[in-house]
Amino acid sequence: GNSVTQMEGPVTLSEEAFLTINCTYTATGYPSLFWYVQYPGEGLQLLLKATKADDKGSNKGFEATYRKETTSFHLEKGSVQVSDSAVYFCALSTTGGSYIPTFGRGTSLIVHP
Amino acid sequence: DVKVTQSSRYLVKRTGEKVFLECVQDMDHENMFWYRQDPGLGLRLIYFSYDVKMKEKGDIPEGYSVSREKKERFSLILESASTNQTSMYLCASTRTGGEGTDTQYFGPGTRLTVL
């Protein structure tokens, strides 16, 4: 079956530091890969996605590249802000059926001023 | 923008009560989902529905039921609430076919406490 493994948190950084949150996956077929973000007290929202190998998703300064050879989709940002403090979820979905996603367990990011 | 709303942000119920959680989406999406979110466990799928009156069990359906009488509304029902159902409940929807089919749109969540 499908699975997503992401690094455990919390990840604690100072403002303007470089961020990496690791995500690896196992899947049958050719999945689409996602990062969702959950700000305090809110539901999840899509941050970025990539649908095929070597695609790079980007949004709000965050980037992730679909690496089929290493089955990874690591999230990066060059300079984090306090407002980036949130929980980040890596996810995948495979084509066919109802596109039910498989989520990782989430990584909490805390950014200090 | 897709909007998914949930009937309550916070809910406190007693053990044994029947609890209804309502979710409404305004973008004519075919698919709707109920998850629960617990610390360290991530999101777990309870039920999903791909059409009116259709439902499928997810990973943890025990103790829950659902109802989808109209396309825009998907209800989660706790027949007899128990303390181990204290959790954050998230509703989501997706469309079928076309661009963005695989993107989930989430509501703000309902934090349910069962005493």
Per-residue pLDDT tens digits for B9-40: 999 999 999 999 999 999 899 999 999 999 88
> What is the pLDDT of chain B when averaged over all its residues?
93
Residue type, A93: S
Strand-pair partners of A102: A92
What is the structure's pLDDT at A9? 87
The residues in B 44-103 lying below 8 A from A, measured between CB atoms, are 45, 48, 50, 56, 58, 90, 92, 94, 96, 101-103
What is the structure's pLDDT at A96? 59
Low-confidence residues in chain A, pLDDT < 70: 95-99
DSSP state of A54: T
Q: Which residue has the higher pLDDT, B55 or B99?
A: B55
Which residue of A42, A49, A89 is in closest CB contact with B42?
A89
Cβ pair A101:B104 closer than 8 A: yes
- What is the Cα–Cα distance from A102 to A26, expressed in whole angstroms? 10
Contact A31, A92 (CB under 8 A): yes
Nearest Cα of chain B lies from the Cα of A63 at a distance, in angstroms, of 17
What is the structure's pLDDT at B1? 67
How many residue contacts between A and B have a Cβ separation below 8 Å?
54
Cβ pair B102:A44 closer than 8 A: no
**Which residues of A fall within a CB distance of 8 Å from B96?**
98
- What is the Cα–Cα distance from A35 to A47, expressed in whole angstroms? 5
What is the structure's pLDDT at B4? 95
Q: Which residue has the higher pLDDT, B39 or B82?
A: B82
| Average pLDDT over every residue of B94-105 | 80
What is the structure's pLDDT at B2? 63
Question: Is the CB of residue A93 less than 8 Å away from at least one CB of chain B?
Answer: yes
| Average pLDDT over every residue of B60-77 | 96
